[in-house]
Structure 1
Amino acid sequence: MSANLNVASLFNVKGKIVLVTGGSAGIGKMIASGFAQNGAKAVAEITAGLKNATASGSVSYIVANVGSKAGCDALVNEFKKRESKLHVLVNNSGITWGGPYEDFPEEKGWDNVFNVNVKSIFYMTAGLTELLAKDSNNRDPARVINISSTASVDPRSEGALSRPGNGTWSYQPSKAAVNHLTSQLALKLAPRHVTVNAILPGVFPSKMTAFGLKTAGDEVFTANQPTGRYGSTEDMAGMAVFLSSPASAHVTGAHIILDGGARYNSRPMPDAKL
C-alpha cells in the first residue's frame, strides 16, 4: 500500500492535545492560535490577569508561573486533572533582562532568567513525560518543542534590543543552554517515542522585542533582514504545526533557525536610541 502524501494528511494536527507555556502573547499566542485554527485542542499557560488577552473559544487556559519547580509542578498537576494524554508540549515561556556589564543583577539578571528559560523546560518535560509517552509510537510520536532564540548562536549582547549601556548578558547563555538541553532530552526520550526539537526565532514582534522595535524603528531590523521583514504569525505557527505533524515524525534533536536569513548578515545591529 502506498503512503498517503496528501498535504492534508502530512500536516494534520486535528485532535491533538497541545500545551503551550507562556501562551498569552507573542510567540506563544502565535503557536496556540496556529494549533487551534487547525483543529487541535490547545491549552495555554498564562500569568495571572492576562486571561482576556488571548480569549478564544478554541483555546483553554491555566494560570501558572513556571519560574520555579513548584510552579511547574502546579501546572503539570492542573493539566493532569483536565487531560489524560498530551500530544504536544511547547516550552515557550521565556524572559530576558538588560543591565550594565559592571553591575548586572544576580537574582533578576541571572537566576530568574535561567529559572524560566532553562529549568522550566526540564521540569515541565519531566513532569509530563508519562502523558507524552502514553500510546505514542515511532510512526506517531509525541512532540516537545522548545522555543530557543538566534541569540543562542549570536554572542552579541548589546544592541538595538536593549537600552544604551545595557546588555542581555544572561539571555544568550540561557538560550544556548536550551539548545543543549533539547539535544539531551531528544536522546533521553527517543526510546519513549517522544521527539524533542528547538525553534530558534530571530526577530518576531513580542514583549521582548517591543522596546527595540519602538525605539530603533522597523527600518533598523528590516535593513538587516535578507527577506526584508521580520517574523510573522504564519512563520511561527507553520513551523510549530510542521514539528507536530506526521511530516516531522522522524525529526528529533533539531535546532531550527527561523530568522529569514538574518544570521548571514554580518553587519552589527546599531544601538537603540531613546
Structure 2
Amino acid sequence: MTGTHATQDGSGLFSVHGRTALVTGGARGVGALIAQALVEAGATVYLTSRDAAAAEKTAARLSLLGECFPLSADLATEEGCRALAEELTGRTGRLHLLVNGAGTLHSAPLEEFGDAGWDRVLQVNLKAVFHLTRFLRPALEAAAEPGDPARVVTIGATDGLHLPSAEAYSHAAGTAAVHQLTRQLAGRLAPRIAVNAVALGPFGPFGPFASDAPPGRPAADTVLRTPLGRAGGLDDLAGIIRFLGSRASAYLTGTVIPLDGGLALTR
C-alpha cells in the first residue's frame, strides 16, 4: 500500500513509526512536546537533559505512551557532546532523527551584556548542534536508505529571521548562525543526511527559546501580533516534526521553516 495514509506497519508517507530519534533538551518545554509527539507516533525516543532527574521523570511519563528513554547530558562542552554520542551509539547503532532541541537564553541591557551572556548560549545553541551532528554522523548514516536520508532538525526561534525586541543579543546572533550552519551541513552531509531547522515563534505555555528554561507563557502582546492570533501548541509541533522525520520530507534539506503563526513575516 502506498500513498499518504499510514499503514499498520507504519510505512505511510508521513509515518515515523519504528524510527529512532534523539531529542536534546527533551525533558521540559518545547523539547518535551517534541519528544511526546514522536513517542505518540510510534518512534523510539531518547531524550536528554543536564538534569538527570528531570529526564527520568519525563521519560517515565512518556513511556506510558510508547518507547522513551532518558539520557543525562551537559552539552556546554565538546566533551559532553562526545559522551552523549558515545552513550547513544552504545545503545543503538542507527539514528534516524536527531532533534537539536536544547537551548538557553540570556537577556540583559547592552551596557551589561558581557562574556557570561555569550559563552554558554553559543556553546549550547550553536556549537552543540555542530558537535552532535559530527559525532553522531556514523549512526545517522547507518539509518539512511536510498531516497530516505537520516534527518537532523535544529529547533531555533524567529529571532534569527528578524530584528528581535528583547535584548537577547547572543540568542538572536546564535540563532541566525544556526540557520547558516544548517545550510552548510546540508550541503556537506547530503545525500545520506538531510539537515533542516525550525524557527519557532511564541509557543504556550512555553516561551519560544530554551528547552531547559522554566515554563513561562509568551507575552500577550507578542501573541496578539501573530497573524493567526494564538501561540503554538502540541499539534503544531507534532505536524512539523513528524513531517521532517518521515519519508514525506525526503527531498527537503537546507531549509529554515518558520513555525510562528506568520509573526516573522509581518513583524
User: Please, what TM-score do these two structures have when normalized by structure 1?
Assistant: 0.87
Question: What is the alpha-carbon distance in structure 1 between the residues aligned to residue 169 and residue 50 of structure 2?
Answer: 25
- Letter of the structure 2 residue corresponding to residue 245 of structure 1: S
1:51 aligned to 55, 58, 63, which one?
55
Does the Cα contact within 8 Å between 2:23 and 2:101 map onto a contact in 1? yes
Question: What is the alpha-carbon distance in structure 1 between the residues aligned to residue 157 and residue 138 of structure 2?
Answer: 28
Q: Name the residue aligned to 1:200.
A: 199
Q: Name the residue aligned to 1:64.
A: 73
2:149 aligned to 126, 141, 150, which one?
141
- Letter of the structure 2 residue corresponding to residue 60 of structure 1: F
What is the correspondence of 1:202-217 to structure 2 with a 5 Å cutoff?
A: 202-205=201-204, 206=206, 208=209, 213=217, 216=219
What SS is found at the alignment partner of 2:153? strand
User: How far has the Cα of 1:188 moved from its partner?
Assistant: 0.7
Query: Are 1:103 and 2:103 an aligned pair?
Result: no
Number of aligned residue pairs: 251
Q: In percent, how many aligned pairs have the same letter?
A: 37
User: How far has the Cα of 1:151 moved from its partner?
Assistant: 0.5
User: How far has the Cα of 1:4 moved from its partner?
Assistant: 1.8
Q: Name the residue aligned to 1:84.
A: 93
Deviates more, 1:66-75 or 1:48-57: 48-57
User: Please, what TM-score do these two structures have when normalized by structure 2?
Assistant: 0.89
Question: What is the alpha-carbon distance in structure 2 between the residues aligned to residue 72 and residue 39 of structure 1?
Answer: 26
Question: What is the alpha-carbon distance in structure 2 between the residues aligned to residue 61 and residue 177 of structure 1?
Answer: 29
Moved over 3 A (4+): 207-214
2:21 aligned to 18, 23, 37, which one?
18
Query: Are 1:123 and 2:122 an aligned pair?
Result: no
Q: Name the residue aligned to 2:9.
A: none
Question: What is the alpha-carbon distance in structure 1 between the residues aligned to residue 17 and residue 216 of structure 2?
Answer: 37
User: How far has the Cα of 1:211 moved from its partner?
Assistant: 7.9
What SS is found at the alignment partner of 1:72? helix
Cα–Cα, structure 1 residues 135 and 95, in superposed 2: closer, same or farther, change >3 Å?
closer
The Cα offsets for residues 176-217 of structure 1, whole Å up to 9 and x where unpaired, read as 0000000011001103x1100000111113264878737x5x
Cα–Cα, structure 1 residues 99 and 186, in superposed 2: closer, same or farther, change >3 Å?
same
Cα–Cα, structure 1 residues 223 and 135, in superposed 2: closer, same or farther, change >3 Å?
closer
Does the Cα contact within 8 Å between 2:48 and 2:55 map onto a contact in 1? no
Q: Name the residue aligned to 1:260.
A: 261
- Letter of the structure 2 residue corresponding to residue 5 of structure 1: G
User: How far has the Cα of 1:92 moved from its partner?
Assistant: 1.0
User: How far has the Cα of 1:226 moved from its partner?
Assistant: 1.2
Does the Cα contact within 8 Å between 2:16 and 2:41 map onto a contact in 1? yes
Cα–Cα, structure 1 residues 14 and 169, in superposed 2: closer, same or farther, change >3 Å?
same
Structure with max Cα Rg: 1
User: How far has the Cα of 1:155 moved from its partner?
Assistant: 1.8
Q: Name the residue aligned to 1:272.
A: none
